[in-house]
Structure 1
């Protein structure tokens, strides 16, 4: 899982003023008058506190952080420290500890700095956020959750804070809370017209897998492929449609059609299987085009099956030629039939042969006539035909009208995704 990186130490140093020189307070007014803006009026640091702190600051500049912590520790013996002295010690100790990699001490010190109430609202916002970032980086996820949550509640608007909070829930194995936060964040992005981040969508998918939530994983995967289409996402989605309980074998050809349109067919057997199914369904022009693409890809025409593939190509070519010759007779029979299935099928055959206008008109008339054996299949094929003809709006409308639970509606939903967010 991707891990966002920040620079919490720098932010902490800047937020509490530790990038400027610490005056040696309490020695003489002239020694700190120039730094009056950093120090509340009327509050001073006595020499027994200021001298070791100034030495510690010089050691920090020299990147001698452990030595700086040792110097700061000298102030622990000073009795009756004022609130301002305690505040100054805490933020100096926090800075040195953070640079030394002592997250526990740094966190304790900066939590005390925040609790003092002496930071301005702007400074406090920076330190609260940086504490959450620091705890996350140290893999202290309970603390990270507490401070990142506080940052957001106090108005923190950095989207990375939200992402780190969600990752903290995830990495602490609070999957229900991570899922809930992700769903809210993604819904907010979508409502605002923004694309959710790919990291959050991947996390949502991972949460679903950890929870064995198949439906949730499907939703996350579809969103991933909608906003960030990738070959791997498509292959996963298509495979899940076929493996879903209730998927009808009669839709295998339609599954191949979707795969060919998205990620392309991957093996020689896929090309020949789709071509054979197209021939059996009465779409020889589609079979011929499929095999031609297989030869163009280099997956057909060589190896032990080359002769068999050539025979299939010749068969498809002859069937496509014969089909065109008998098209007029087939059209008359389809138009005169009482039900529209023949017109839909003939129209689709014409579309795959490149006769878009005539083919689409026949399909539309067939659907209007009704009495279809499988109306959802007809609507699915009409959507594919519109897509082949470049009529995207009509394709989407047709796909969205497909219903059922045998796989047709699932394929139609993925076709909408392909039309709106093509991979290629």
Structure 2
């Protein structure tokens, strides 16, 4: 999810601002402080002055070999915090130029813990002290330093996500996902769109930890941010599979059918397996009109080959069932007898693409009772969405109060909100 730190960036950031001013007496220290308020004022031990001065001259001459030899000489006789600070401050940019980033860790540790290190340098020192183990997937080691860098105000486009990932990989999934949420909102506040990978990572970790409701909410956020047909398909399938994972309660036939209707509405049916599973579910639900419409659409788009034997047989069966079914007028006339009969009339009209009429029968079913209120409102919302009545659909979806149908209603609401027209797919 994160980009690795380039070697050039590492050298540039760690070398920036390293200035050492060595002084001998309080009077001289005050004069230097007035002259250069940005540099730390150091009172070095007498013995260390010569190797430090020689190391600085070698650094200026770009002679790192000599510089490191003089720094080692100074380090061996360092006695005070001032001495140890100057040794590590001179060593840091040279070590950063090497290829072994881990060699920086003891240098950064020494600088972070030294009271003489300027407070303005601590944010970047903490950041790189955490970023290096982060790149090596040592998240427990990385997390306290990355968090400290953030708290000290360090600015890096990856920092928030590095903190989040470190939290998640050390077991704090909710805390890490909350950090991703903050990062996404910060991007939005800055007028930018957060990368899709950020959503995908949060979804994957919530899914793996069995947090079904949270996974569903993030899937809805993902598809709202990236409403492509491909993402709709992925989001719907991940949601469906997540409901069945880790001993969860699988979606029933009607709930799966409502998801396939959403896939069809969002044009997310990708191949013949999608179309055939959808058509078979509709057939099992006693909706041969919908089976035929789905198969006809799959063949027309070329996603179901004309030679597909399963599709041919299912189409033949659906046509036979349509002939043997009661006429539509009879089904609609019976709707007044009970809520269940009204639901049946609504389902047939929904399957036929008669969305406004389907909505009438779903409302009738709700008024008569004896039906699952959440299911009836979900179907009513679908019908009104396809009919273009967004206000009515929103009210219906709000009436879906029990999971998983309430989650499915959330997906339908997202599609309705994103679609300019939310027009019918047609049967």
TM-score range, shorter chain: 0.7 to 0.9
Counterpart in the other structure of 1:127: 125
Quick one: which of 54, 57, 71 aligns to 1:54? 57
1:136-176 superposed Cα distances (whole Å, 9 cap, x missing partner): 345554542232222233344546323223333455xx21x
The answer to whether 1:5 aligns with 2:8 is no
1:83 and 1:420 mapped to 2: Cα distance?
62
Does 2:268 align with 1:260?
no
| 1:161-240 matched pairs, under 5 angstroms | 161-171=159-169, 174-175=170-171, 177=172, 179-186=173-180, 188=182, 198-208=196-206, 211=209, 221=219, 223-228=221-226, 230=231, 231-240=233-242
**Alpha carbons of 1:293 and 1:133: their partners in 2 closer, same or farther (altered >3 Å)?**
same
TM-score scaled to structure 2, two decimals?
Answer: 0.73
Uncovered stretches (5+) of structure 2, i.e. residues with no partner: 423-427
Deviation at 1:293, TM superposition (A): 0.9
Q: 1:291 touches 1:313 (CA, 8 Å); kept in 2?
A: no
The structural deviation recorded for 1:358 is: 3.9
Do 1:285 and 1:316's aligned partners in 2 also have CA atoms closer than 8 Å? no
CA distance in 2, matches of 1:184, 1:232: 23
CA positional deviation for 1:379 = 1.7
Distance 1:59-1:367 versus aligned 2 partners, 3 A rule: same
User: Is the 8 Å Cα contact of residues 271 and 303 (structure 2) preserved in structure 1?
Assistant: yes
Q: Could you state the TM-score of these two structures normalised by the residue count of structure 1?
A: 0.73
Aligned residues: 397
Identify the range of structure 1 (148-157 vs 88-97) with the bigger mean alpha-carbon deviation: 148-157
Matched residue, 2:373: 375
Whole-angstrom distance in 2 between the partners of 1:252 and 1:130: 48
Structure 1 residues 59 and 130: CA distance shift in structure 2, 3 A: same
Tell me which of 411, 417, 422 is aligned to 2:408.
411
Contact 2:345 2:358 in 1 (8 A): yes
Greater relative contact order (Cα < 8 A, sep 6+): 1
CA contact (8 A) 2:52 2:74 kept: yes
- 1:196-345 counterparts in 2 under 5 A? 198-208=196-206, 211=209, 221=219, 223-228=221-226, 230=231, 231-241=233-243, 244-245=248-249, 247-262=251-266, 264-268=268-272, 270-272=274-276, 274-275=278-279, 278=282, 283=287, 285-303=289-307, 305=309, 308=312, 312=316, 315=319, 327-328=328-329, 330-334=331-335, 337-345=336-344
Contact 2:332/2:345 (<8 A) preserved: yes
Q: Is the 8 A contact 1:91 1:113 kept in 2?
A: yes
Cα offset for 1:232? 2.6
* Mapping 1:18-57, distance limit 5 Å: 37=36, 46-57=49-60
Say which SS state the counterpart of residue 62 (structure 2) adopts.
Answer: helix
Change (3 A) 1:82 1:191: closer
Gap change, CA 1:74 and 1:140, over 3 Å in 2: farther
1:154 corresponding residue in structure 2: 152
Gaps of 5+ in 1: none
Cα drift, residue 357 of structure 1: 3.6
Q: Structure 1 85/399 Cα, relative in aligned 2: closer, same or farther at 3 Å? A: same
